[in-house]
């Protein structure tokens, strides 16, 4: 009887040891796979030469940085002190200060740190950013463009004050876990122009897929928060849960009836072919795209019109 008991204990001990070893392997594997060092994007050298501020400004408005990063409820959209609460199914993200303030913003960053943040979603202190910051799109941008964008942002007004931490429930509050998310949804590839297509169509593709990050709202997401690739641009639930973002592919349920000129017009003035003026979050987008040079809007419209037609939701619900 006593022997049976003893062997029971040693058996349990053995199971415990095995479990501990497995847990250690699991933890080591997790640690290994989720390391920000796994991300190879954004480590390229910064191109030499003077930054082009005019190009930086164009990219700034193509990206619409102010839509999320401006201090909420202020008239001056160029004070990028952050603070806007972005309510998502995973919790509330508080948009950070990206003004050139040396302590509270990005004023003391190097161009290389900026490129790394934009293309790999990794902070200067080596932590993952949440993909509510759409680096899944920004990864397509070139290092030269990012250098110019960063130089332009440094010309803006520094805003004091750090924004509070995100408010996320477990497990989403485990920042390290984003390493796994990135392995699934961040390929790290820069934009590759298609030599068979015109220069303007390639320019439009770059602006829409890269800085413009249009797909981030105009596509449905899966349960892990990744874009459903075969439904890209076919519309989806508004990320903050307040409605439905339209299908912008040339499908009957999308923009089939729209001409290139119509798409250009909505980016320039917010007016649709029926004379409607776009609202909700698209109004903030238009406040940026209206400041782009006309040729850039033309290129974006050309690309949007060339998207593969995909069925979206039929009519309002």
Partner 1 sequence: MIRPVLVGLALAIGVSAAIAQSDPIAERRATMKGVGAATAQGNRMAKGEAPFELDKAQEVLKTYAAAADKMHTYFPESAKSGGETTASPKIWENQAEFRKRFDDWAADIKKAAANTKDLDTFKAEFATVTRACGGCHQAFRVSRS
**Residue 249 beta carbon to partner 1: minimum distance, rounded to whole angstroms:** 13
Between CA 61 and CA 290 the distance in angstroms is 8
CB 270 within 8 A of CB 277: yes
Instruction: For residue 49, state whether it binds partner 1 (rule: CB under 8 A).
Output: no
Instruction: For residue 273, state whether it binds partner 1 (rule: CB under 8 A).
Output: yes
Chosen residue from 188, 284, 309, 311 binding partner 1 by CB under 8 A: 284
**If you count them, how many residues does the chain have?**
317
Q: Which is nearer to partner 1, 30 or 84 (CB)?
A: 84
Q: Which segment (25-33, 207-215, 283-291, 297-305) binds partner 1 by CB under 8 A? A: 283-291
Give the footprint of partner 1 on residues 198-237 (CB under 8 A): 235
Instruction: For residue 317, state whether it binds partner 1 (rule: CB under 8 A).
Output: yes
Instruction: For residue 276, state whether it binds partner 1 (rule: CB under 8 A).
Output: yes
Instruction: For residue 75, state whether it binds partner 1 (rule: CB under 8 A).
Output: no
Kindly report whether the peptide bond that precedes residue 171 is cis, defined as omega within 30 degrees of 0. Answer: yes
225 burial (CB, 10 Å; 0-12 / 13-18 / 19+) is middle
The two structure tokens encoding residue 199: 């220069």
Scanning the structure block, which residue is given the tokens 């298609």?
194
Chosen residue from 279, 293, 294, 295 binding partner 1 by CB under 8 A: 279
Q: Which helix (H) or strand (E) holds 86?
A: strand 85-88
CB 129 within 8 A of CB 148: no
Query: How many residues interact with partner 1 (rule CB under 8 A)?
Result: 29
Instruction: For residue 68, state whether it binds partner 1 (rule: CB under 8 A).
Output: no
Among the listed residues 189, 152, 157, 136, the one whose alpha carbon sits nearest the alpha carbon of residue 59: 152
Q: Which segment (73-81, 118-126, 131-139, 284-292) binds partner 1 by CB under 8 A? A: 284-292
Instruction: For residue 70, state whether it binds partner 1 (rule: CB under 8 A).
Output: no
Instruction: For residue 73, state whether it binds partner 1 (rule: CB under 8 A).
Output: no
Chosen residue from 24, 27, 28, 283 binding partner 1 by CB under 8 A: 283
CB 297 within 8 A of CB 268: yes
Instruction: For residue 189, state whether it binds partner 1 (rule: CB under 8 A).
Output: no
**Residue 305 beta carbon to partner 1: minimum distance, rounded to whole angstroms:** 18
**Residue 158 beta carbon to partner 1: minimum distance, rounded to whole angstroms:** 27
Phi, psi of 83 (to 5 degrees): 115, -10
Pairing status of strand 236-237 against strand 244-245: antiparallel
Instruction: For residue 84, state whether it binds partner 1 (rule: CB under 8 A).
Output: no
* Planar angle of CA 168, 119, 55, nearest 5 degrees: 120
Between CA 18 and CA 14 the distance in angstroms is 6
Between CA 204 and CA 207 the distance in angstroms is 5
Q: Which segment (57-65, 80-88, 274-282, 293-301) binds partner 1 by CB under 8 A? A: 274-282
C-alpha 273: how far from its chain's center? 29
- Stretch 233-272: interaction string toward partner 1, x if CB under 8 A: --x--x---xxxxx------------------x---xxxx
Binding residues for partner 1, rule: CB under 8 A, are: 235, 238, 242-246, 265, 269-284, 286-287, 315-317
């Amino acid at each position: 009887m006593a022997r049976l008991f003893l062997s029971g204990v040693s058996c349990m001990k053995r199971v415990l040891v095995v479990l501990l070893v497995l847990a250690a392997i699991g933890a080591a594997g997790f640690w290994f796979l989720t390391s920000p060092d796994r991300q190879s994007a954004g480590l390229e050298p910064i191109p030499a030469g003077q930054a082009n501020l005019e190009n930086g400004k164009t990219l700034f408005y193509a990206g619409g940085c102010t839509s999320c990063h401006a201090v909420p409820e202020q008239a001056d959209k160029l004070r990028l002190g952050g603070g806007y609460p972005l309510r998502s199914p995973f919790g509330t993200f508080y948009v950070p200060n990206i003004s050139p303030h040396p302590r509270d913003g990005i004023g003391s960053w190097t161009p290389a740190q900026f490129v790394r943040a934009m293309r790999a979603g990794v902070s200067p202190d080596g932590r993952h950013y949440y993909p509510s910051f759409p680096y899944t799109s920004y990864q397509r941008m070139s290092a030269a463009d990012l250098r110019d964008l960063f130089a332009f942002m440094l010309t803006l007004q520094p805003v004091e004050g750090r924004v509070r931490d995100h408010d996320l429930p477990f497990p989403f509050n485990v920042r390290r876990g984003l390493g796994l998310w990135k392995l699934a949804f961040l390929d790290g590839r820069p934009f590759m122009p298609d030599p068979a297509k015109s220069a303007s169509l390639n320019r439009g593709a770059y602006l829409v897929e890269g800085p413009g990050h249009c797909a981030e709202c105009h596509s449905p997401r899966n349960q892990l928060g990744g874009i459903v690739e075969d439904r890209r641009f076919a519309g989806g639930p508004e990320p903050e849960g307040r409605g439905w973002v339209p299908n912008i592919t040339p499908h009957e349920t999308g923009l089939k009836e729209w001409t290139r000129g119509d798409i250009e017009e909505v980016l320039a003035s917010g007016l649709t072919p029926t004379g409607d003026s776009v609202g909700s979050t698209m109004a903030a987008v238009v406040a940026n795209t209206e400041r782009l040079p006309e040729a850039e809007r033309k290129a974006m419209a050309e690309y949007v019109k060339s998207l593969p037609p995909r069925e979206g939701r039929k009519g309002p619900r």
